[in-house]
Amino acid sequence: MYAIRLWSVRHSRGLEAFYQGFERIVVALDPVWRFLGYNRIEKPVAAVEKLVKGVLFDCQMCGMCALSQTGMACPMNCPKQLRHGPCGGVRVDGMCEVKPEMRCVWVEAYAGSQRMQAGPAAIRELRAPVDRRLTGTSSWLRVAREKAPKPPAKAAP
């Protein structure tokens, strides 16, 4: 919802702290995810993620979550799906070129990023172009898989 999305950006600092803790838990639970099977839990976890982040951020489930870098404003809500900042069409009052009734996602993101502990520099980082195959998949599980320490390789029998 639009109003909740704006609230989330206003509270980007708190959400950032919460998210950092949450990420640690998700990553720590890697053995559990492996026991259950990442592939088997992908769909239900993605459904939960979509519900939670959908409410908080109008998340579009791109699968490559950048919220922690973009002031807790989801860049996929930009009608041009820009990943590196605002286009040149932003209206003088800060509204979107394509949807004049919506605040520019990147104007919001910039404001949100100023409030974050990590500081506003992260928003300017070069990001890889979106891998469209990941659309609809869980960013949480992807982060868990990537950040968890790798289990020791089994010795050859």
Partner 1 sequence: MIFEDEPEPGHPLPMLPGHSSAGRFERILRAGGFAVTAELAPPDSAAAEDVYARAHIFDGYVDAINATDGSGANCHMSSVAVCALLTHIGYSPVMQLSCRDRNRIAMQGEILGAAAMGVCNLLCLTGDGVQAGDHPQAKPVFDYDSISLLRAATRLRDEGTFESGRKLTSRPHVFFGAAENPFVPPYDWRPQRLAQKVAAGAQFIQTQYCFDVPLLRKFMARADELGLLDQVFILVGVGPLPSAKTADWMRRHVPGVHIPDAVVQRLAGAAKPKAEGRNLCVELIQEIREIKGVSGVHLMAYRQEEAVAEVIERSGVLQGRVPWYPGRPAELSLEKAAS
**Closer Cβ to partner 1, 41 or 95, answer by number:** 95
DSSP characters over 104-131: -HHHHHHHHHHHSTT-GGGGGS--PPP-
139-147 and 38-57 helices, crossing angle to 10°? 120
Chain contacts with partner 1 (rule: CB under 8 A): 79-92, 94, 97-98, 104, 106-107, 110-111, 124, 126, 129-130, 132
Minimum separation from the CB atom of position 126 to partner 1 (A): 6
**Closer Cβ to partner 1, 54 or 94, answer by number:** 94
Q: How far apart are CA 44 and CA 118, in angstroms?
A: 31
Minimum separation from the CB atom of position 110 to partner 1 (A): 5
Minimum separation from the CB atom of position 16 to partner 1 (A): 19
The C-alpha angle with vertex 90 and arms to 100 and 136, in degrees rounded to 5, equals 75
**Closer Cβ to partner 1, 49 or 113, answer by number:** 113
